[in-house]
Chain A
Amino acid sequence: MAEFNPPLLGINNAVNPDKQPSLTTDYMDNVWPIDVLEKRIRLGQRPGVDKAFDGQIGNASNPIVAVCVVTTVD
């Protein structure tokens, strides 16, 4: 019985598939090396994106062009 080697090290298209480095591939999308279930190093679907705040900045579908954090004394 042999263990297969899924592409834990991600994508590599520097060489032809015949010489593909171990644990890499030329074909993947939205798969990350840390899974979202237990946060371990194993291949799994990436985390989804979700809203951090409910409202739209500017109340319109226009890009947010800059963000920062400001800290003030209480």
Chain B
Amino acid sequence: MATITFVVGGTRTNSKNLWKIQDDGSSLTIIDSADIGSVANVYSVVGDSEGNFYVGTNEGKVYKVDLNLDVITSWGTNGVYDAGSATKEIYGLAVDVNGYLAIAHFGSTTPTTYTVKLLDSTGTLVWEEDHQSSNGSTCVSYSVKFDSSGNVVGVGSRNSGLYDGYKYQRADGAKLKSYWQKSGDGYGEGVWVFSDDDVVISDTPIGPGYGINVRKCSSDNTEEWNVSVVAESGHNPLRNSIVADDDENVYVGGNANGSKTIYKLNASTGVTDASYDTGGSVYGLDIDANGNLVAGGWEAADEDTNTAKLRIFDTDLTLLRYTNDSDLGTIYAVAASTHIPSSEVGEPADKLYSKNFVAVGNDQLWYESSAGTMSQLAASAVDGQLDTTIPLTICSAFQKVFIANQTNLKVADFINTKIVTANIGSNPPDRGNILTGDSSAAEMIVDFITSTSGASTIYGYRTTAATFEASETISGTDDDNNDIDFNMTAVAEVAPPHWYDWTPFGNDTTTYGTMPSEAYLVCRYRGRLILAGHRSYPHQWYASYVANPWSWIYSSTDPLSGIAGNNADAGEVGDIIKALIPYGDDFLIFGCADSIHIMDGDPASGGSIDEITNHTGIYGAWAWCKDNDGNLYFFGHGGLYKMAGGRSKPVCISSNILPKWIENWALDPSLHRVVLSYDPLRYGILISKITLSSGANSNYWFSLQTGGFYPTSFQDEAGVFCSKYYDSDSSGTREMIMGCNDGYLRIFKDSAKDDDSGASDDAISSYMGWIEQLGDGEDKEGKLTSMTVESGGGASSGAYSDTDGFSYELHTAADRETCMEDMKDGATARETGTISTTGRQNRIRKKVRGMNLGIKIYNSTASETFAINKISAVVKPVGRKK
């Protein structure tokens, strides 16, 4: 259970009437308190989405306080809304996500006395309305809630034939609906509105009998159930003492005159599933952040013989803990659903971001919508948005993903909120302007707009909890101090992610320049988005404004301006650009067809482009990677190249080991892709050749620990088309992730003994064969008399993981080449066997004689893997080869 903190209010005790309570799962502790209104008792408390609280007192006033229980003087009048001295008791409060506050309070004997009010987020009255249900002696509203449209539902006293409750229209307080017409005078005491706008009301009649009645209906007053919970003399529900849990079970609090004081009503039927006697009246009920019921009221001895004012129950009404702290007054109000943020109570909150994996395939962009789940960005799948059969690269920048797919230049926006207008007006916003919703008070920082005139879509980062509402007026001031003024369409704001065309800001090419008409290479360098790969201008590169991917206009006097090769002193690249490889803010490598170039510094401020080598180019846009030490590896004309630090002359590190690599792979760029994938967890690089049409692949694993190359093969389905190390927040996906031929994203997994091939798993066929000299001299033979194998795992089970079994073959031949050939050709071995246990095996007493011994170790059994510690042997010389 997480430690949580919540707020309660009540009778002024020891000069305090508002308390902050900490529940650590074993006890309840007062950690802060305040004296709200000095001489007042607190009757109602509610928390908003920003962690502030609204506090209603018995003096007809509402205060707004912050996390520290200090009055927020910028709200209302010096932090106070005064409903009028004659109003007195503020019984019910409700606040919506936009900071609008609904108030239910005591009125008078006049039937039309206003007892329901709505304040805007500044604490200014929007409207006040009557309950119009005076029972002849008092007119009062007891409880209010908002529905999903921001309308107010309130209940209060009534005369016979009138209603317990009404729905008041948000805009002007007009009564939209009435709830629960009843005969006889009485009181609607508590109201709860569900997320689907269903309404639950607790009620009691006036006069002999009293009792607790509860009714649930739909928003249009269609009854779902109506129960008489209890009919005990003098026993009635208490104002505002009603709450529902996540399963829509309803909890109702009553006064002390009943045999029970808390009732749990079944969500579907209203039948009482549980009840509890706290011994005293229960005025405040709420569900806390742990899903427990918090109940506050009189100090009294409960049915478990505990004396308390504040109690915590589980949802079956089992008492968990309680407090009767003498500093607490009688509890009239509980605001437990608003958990005070952990930073307030000293818990560190280090994580302020989220990471999401993004993948492109089948003409669609998908993203990690929740940990471990990939979802389609639907708009990307519309015909013509993407074409994954033509070259495409992507890069992340500014909390978005930028896609270069030749003529399809797109943005996947994961941070901005979207609002739409049919007419952006004569003063469109500039990037960075603040826009405010006139009625919602929502605010956003403008990032991008699709047009500077007429219909336009605005993307910006919303900085408030309040959200932009449909049809509302938007205001602001542009960079020239002109008023921004437009109306949203009848569509409220839309949360990210979004998909849109990558264009200059507002598509205004006069002010923000022109983007290339096509590109398939994109990267981020020095805060600029860099594009290249235009088929008609293959030597050209284009750079956006620094930190502004929507501005491409060139200015010779602005070192941050957009710039292209033909503008810059650095010039264009003298070879066809095939890859963009940024090194932070230091330099940018252009991998070209037959050369490697490096751009040093900023292209608009003294940057230069120099040729590093013309002895090799780079195979393609995916044929490179960097290790953790900043070394660059790429596949070039001679095989695998390394550029130490990314700057030095490239050196071919494979030619002395795999001189036939290029010949064997027989690469054709129209048929094959080469991908280099750096795995920091395994400290190596996977070099993959994949056939574009079929997924047939050949691979080498290059170990940065041993410096060796290790042939590796996968099923066609798992052929690697692209890869990225994902430093995920979830350990399960913190791996090098490979985009594969069949549309699945895959990882290397140490616990996987087979390869996933989509619908099934395939055994890994692993083998190695090598030659040992048996003779003790030139042209001499030896005799292997025994062999000892130590397989991985020590004793069976135990601290070290155990290998599975493997098989072996022993070949002999007069020369090494024949011996190796026999193993490769599958010739009949001299001896064979199987190792099936771990640790040192019993000596293998198989005797073979010859000049050279070929040993093959292999395993192709499903669900098996192996590791070998050591192989040793007893070999006796037997003389010269005949």
Q: Contacting A5 at CB < 8 Å: which of B399, B770, B824? A: B770
Interface string of A24-60 (1 = CB under 8 A from B): 1111111111111111111111111111111111111
- C-alpha gap A24/B695 in the complex (Å): 29
- A1-36 vs B, CB cutoff 8 Å, 1 = contact: the mask equals 111111111111110111010001111111111111
User: In B387-403, which residues have CB < 8 Å from any A CB?
Assistant: 388, 392-396, 399-401, 403
In the bound complex, CA of A8 to CA of B717 (Å)? 29
Which chain B positions have C-beta within 8 A of A66?
Answer: 359-360, 392-394, 403, 722, 739
For B69-100 the 0/1 string (1 means CB < 8 A from A) is 00000000000000000000000000000000
A57: contacting residue among B355, B374, B755, B820, CB under 8 A? B374
A4 touches B769 (CB 8 A): no
Asked whether, in the complex, the Cβ of B360 is within 8 Å of the Cβ of A4, the reply is no
Of B39-47, B339-347, B510-518, B653-661, the one contacting chain A is: B653-661
Report yes or no: B873 in contact with A4, Cβ–Cβ below 8 A.
Answer: yes
Shortest Cβ gap from B277 to chain A (Å): 44
Q: Say yes or no: B708 contacts A24, CB within 8 Å.
A: yes
Q: Are B721 and A65 in contact (CB under 8 A)?
A: yes
What residues on B are CB-neighbors of A28 within 8 Å? Answer: 710-711, 767-769
Residues in B with CB closer than 8 Å to A38 are 792, 800-801, 867
Query: Are A37 and B865 in touch, CB under 8 angstroms?
Result: yes
> Does A62 contact B388, Cβ atoms closer than 8 Å?
yes
Set of chain A residues within 8 Å of B362, measured between Cβ atoms: 57-60, 62
Q: How far is the CB of A25 from chain B (nearest CB, A)?
A: 4
Q: Please tell me if the beta carbons of B750 and A47 are within 8 angstroms of each other in the complex.
A: yes
B303 at the binding interface (Cβ < 8 Å): no
Q: Min CB distance, B164 to chain A, in Å?
A: 42
* A35 to B: closest C-beta gap in Å: 4
Chain A residues contacting B414 (CB-CB under 8 Å) are 70, 72
Q: Mark B345-384, 1 if CB is under 8 A from A, else 0.
A: 0000001111111111111101110001110100000000
Contact B872 A56 (CB under 8 A): no
Q: Any chain A CB within 8 A of the CB of B723?
A: yes
What residues on A are CB-neighbors of B742 within 8 Å?
56, 61-63
**Which of B3-11, B432-440, B551-559, B698-706 contacts the other chain?**
B698-706
- B615 beta carbon closer than 8 Å to chain A: no
> A33: which B residues are within 8 A, CB to CB?
703, 705-706, 708, 710
What interface size band does chain B fall in?
35 or more
Contact for A47 among B400, B695, B748, B870, CB less than 8 A: B748
Contact A50 B873 (CB under 8 A): no
1/0 contact string of B799-818 vs chain A (CB within 8 Å): 01111000000000001110
Q: Is the CB of A57 within 8 A of B749?
A: no
B518 nearest CB across to chain A (Å): 16
B177 at the binding interface (Cβ < 8 Å): no
Interface stretch, picked from B126-134, B313-321, B730-738, is B730-738
The reply to whether the CB of B535 lies closer than 8 angstroms to some CB of chain A is no
Given contacts A17-B820, A55-B374, A67 and B756 within 8 Å (CB-CB): no
Across the interface, which residues of B come within 8 angstroms of A63, CB to CB?
A: 361, 388, 692, 695, 721, 739-743
Are A13's CB and B660's CB within 8 A?
yes
**What is the bound-complex CA distance between A46 and B409, given in angstroms?**
39
- CB pair B764–A46 under 8 Å, yes or no, is yes
CB proximity of A52 to chain B, nearest CB, Å: 4
Contact (Cβ within 8 A) B657 A11: yes
Q: Which one, B356, B361, B868, contacts A65 given CB within 8 A?
A: B361
- Which A residues touch B711, using CB under 8 A? 11, 28-30
B721, A49: Cβ atoms closer than 8 Å? no
Given A1-B873, A57-B361: A37 in contact with B801 (beta carbons within 8 A): yes
B747 interface residue (CB < 8 Å to A): yes
Q: Which of B706, B801, B865 contacts A9 (CB 8 A)?
A: B706
Report the Cα distance A54→B631, complex, angstroms: 33
Inter-chain contact A6/B875, CB cutoff 8 Å:
no
In the complex, chain A residues whose CB is within 8 Å of the CB of B696: none
Q: Check if A31 sits within 8 Å of B767, measured CB to CB.
A: yes
Cβ contact within 8 Å between B745 and A70: no
Bound form: Cα–Cα A67–B874 in Å: 53
Can you list 15 residue pairs at the A/B interface with Cβ under 8 Å?
A2-B873, A4-B772, A11-B710, A13-B660, A14-B656, A17-B820, A29-B767, A45-B865, A46-B764, A46-B766, A49-B718, A57-B364, A66-B360, A72-B354, A74-B352
Which residues of A are at the interface with B, using a C-beta cutoff of 8 A? 1-14, 16-18, 20, 24-74
A-B pairs with the 5 shortest C-beta distances? A58-B362, A10-B708, A64-B739, A48-B752, A44-B867
Beyond A36-B751, A68-B395, 17 extra complex contacts between A and B, CB < 8 Å? A7-B770, A14-B656, A17-B820, A20-B816, A28-B768, A29-B766, A31-B767, A34-B683, A45-B753, A48-B753, A55-B373, A58-B743, A63-B388, A66-B359, A66-B722, A69-B726, A70-B399
